[in-house]
Chains A and B, each alone.
Chain A
Amino acid sequence: DGGITQSPKYLFRKEGQNVTLSCEQNLNHDAMYWYRQDPGQGLRLIYYSQIVNDFQKGDIAEGYSVSREKKESFPLTVTSAQKNPTAFYLCASSPGHYNEQFFGPGTRLTVL
């Protein structure tokens, strides 16, 4: 079964802690993305990557970091520098053709 998996589904973080959200895809897609969604809001792009070992900042990259060491994996680290990290985080991938994006089920992060 091809798809995108995100883990964990729910994550709780204490203030001052870094946490890493996992995103894995077996769709053989080149491009991968991280979005943040706040209640009642649209999607805001955090980071994206077109190829392995390369990634670009999106609109709200401050306080976040990513890596792309493998085509299948694009983990997102929410650092202590992110002042308001409580949100729903969505990972997506794209084959690059007409830019269709396929989304994972999301991780809901709550800061305690």
Chain B
Amino acid sequence: KNQVEQSPQSLIILEGKNCTLQCNYTVSPFSNLRWYKQDTGRGPVSLTIMTFSENTKSNGRYTATLDADTKQSSLHITASQLSDSASYICVVSGTGGSYIPTFGRGTSLIVHP
């Protein structure tokens, strides 16, 4: 069964600090991995997509990494801001005929001033 596990479940950091969120998956064969940001009371918004051949991709202060061999991804947030407080969701899609992406449960990040 395809699974996506995220850690930690929740995280509290001070404004200006860095943090790293983890995502492990068992989806096979692998197509791509997306990180979404979900603000409270809103729908998820895509931050970045990683395909098999990509190791690192940045989007402003967000940097995603992918190790397709170990089936792990991380999302690093640099110089956190209060607006980074949100849930970060890892979503993995496989190849094949059925398009049902597998969602992780998310990491809830709180940035304190």
Are these two chains actual partners, yes or no?
no
